[in-house]
Structure 1
Amino acid sequence: MSKKSMHLSIVVITMILGVMLAIQFRTNRNMELGVTADRAQEMVAELARLESDNRKFDRDIDDLTFKLEQARKGQTQARDAITDELNKAKMSAGLTPVTGPGIEVVLDNPDSSSGIFIRDEYLLKIANDLKGAGAEAISVNGQRLIATSEIRLAGSFININLDRTEPPFQILAIGNPEKLKSSLEISGGLVDYFRELGIAVKTQTHSSVTIPGYNKDLRYDYAKSVKG
């Protein structure tokens, strides 16, 4: 082979190799670009999904926050309702101090020479008449009368709620002042009865009186609450 032919062959081979390398490079480049585009598309789709999930989570958080606030309000309302009922129960039982319009009755013994003295039954009669006239709370010498209160003569003293008391006896009652007063001062009523005995009695209405709560322990040794 002549030098000229050899040179021509080398040139042809070189050109062929160059073309092949160019084709290979372009193919690889296109493949790389194709993978990057696919990945970018996947990332865009993933981002859209995450954004959608985030919006859903935000809605869920708002919904749960609203429900939590409603639950807290419900708990507060329930607690307030229970507290209100408890306070009403305590007031009805006579365990809390109360105030309101009412009447004051004062009984005192006559002179010791008369041999007349105030008996426990007199205080019970007054309490019963006041209750019958709608008294909502009654106290005698600062002792609140409740369902289990005891008024009992003990020698020259009268025990009220196991506390020793003596004249003068101040009875306070909360209710309609005029109605309470009339129930005692009715003709032939207790006021007339006490005055006939020589016992000093005074009644006076008030726009506001304060009666203390029962301050002793409540014990029930035999009575039990009924369940169901």
Structure 2
Amino acid sequence: MKEYKWIVMIIFTLTGLSIGLLFSIEDPSAAEVTPEEVVYEQEIEELASINENLRQRIHKVQEDVETLEVDLPAENPALTTLRQEIKTFEMLAGRPDVRGPGVEIILSSSNDENIAMIVDHKKYLVNLVNELRVFGGEAFEINGHRIVDRTEITLAGNHINVNSTPIAPPYEVQSIGNPGELKQYVEYGTFIFEMMEEDGVVAEINFHDEMVIEGFRGEKTFRYFEVVE
């Protein structure tokens, strides 16, 4: 009986050695793989699977967003109203480029002098924009700078700043608005042109059937107040 046990043990031992030898022959690198490397390989495979799942989910979300953007405006009146209100506020803030009929008023010096101090002292640019607004003007620009509610028109040294950017004469004031009212303003509605002429400021006035005024490109942040709810 003891001999039988020894024989069984020898068979199992030889079998184990044979199997180990077989694996070592079939995969020479198997002995070089450490337990840490096996763990890393498993983690890499898991991360690859997670990334693929995330990629598929992102693609699905993008498809859902595109579908909502197409379908919701027609199906959701509240959302349509909100989009219209956003466009209205963007217009009031002077964000988009606009086109339409209007007037161009170019201010220059009659004697080739720097008229910045005169124009600032008499507030000719500010008054022109305000009066044009009263007489049908809807969008305004000075030397390529869109005029909005928070625009600054100030004297800085020997030049004028608009939206914190220096401009030089001639000062070109453009306004898009009601053509009839704008013509009435220029021809009958104000004494500002007579005052400018007395100060040596020449005003060249041109009316256009179509003008383009670019949107406000600056950004002013609110730092010191908060909305009261």
Q: Tell me the TM-score normalised to structure 2 length.
A: 0.61
In structure 2, stretches of 5+ residues that fail to align are 1-70
2:150 maps to which residue? Answer: 148
Structure 2 SS opposite 1:103: strand
Count of residue correspondences: 156
Q: Deviations over 1:68-115 (max 9, x none)?
A: xx978423x5444322221111001111111111111110122246x7
Q: Is the 8 A contact 1:103 1:204 kept in 2?
A: yes
- Alignment of 1:102 with 2:102, yes or no, is yes
Q: Tell me the TM-score normalised to structure 1 length.
A: 0.61
Q: Is the 8 A contact 1:184 1:190 kept in 2?
A: no
1:190 maps to which residue? Answer: 192
Q: After the TM superposition, which residues 1-228 of structure 1 pair with which residues of structure 2 at under 5 Å, given as runs?
A: 73-75=74-76, 77-112=77-112, 117=116, 118-120=118-120, 121-186=123-188, 189-227=191-229
Q: Deviations over 1:100-131 (max 9, x none)?
A: 11111110122246x75552211111111111
Q: CA RMSD in A?
A: 2.3
Q: Percent identity at matched positions? A: 31
Cα offset, 1:159, TM superposition: 0.1
In structure 1, stretches of 5+ residues that fail to align are 1-69
How far apart in 2 are the matches of 1:107 and 1:166? 11
Q: Please say which structure displays the higher CA radius of gyration.
A: 1
Cα 1:188/1:196, change in 2 over 3 Å: farther
Structure 1 SS opposite 2:84: helix
Structure 2 SS opposite 1:119: helix
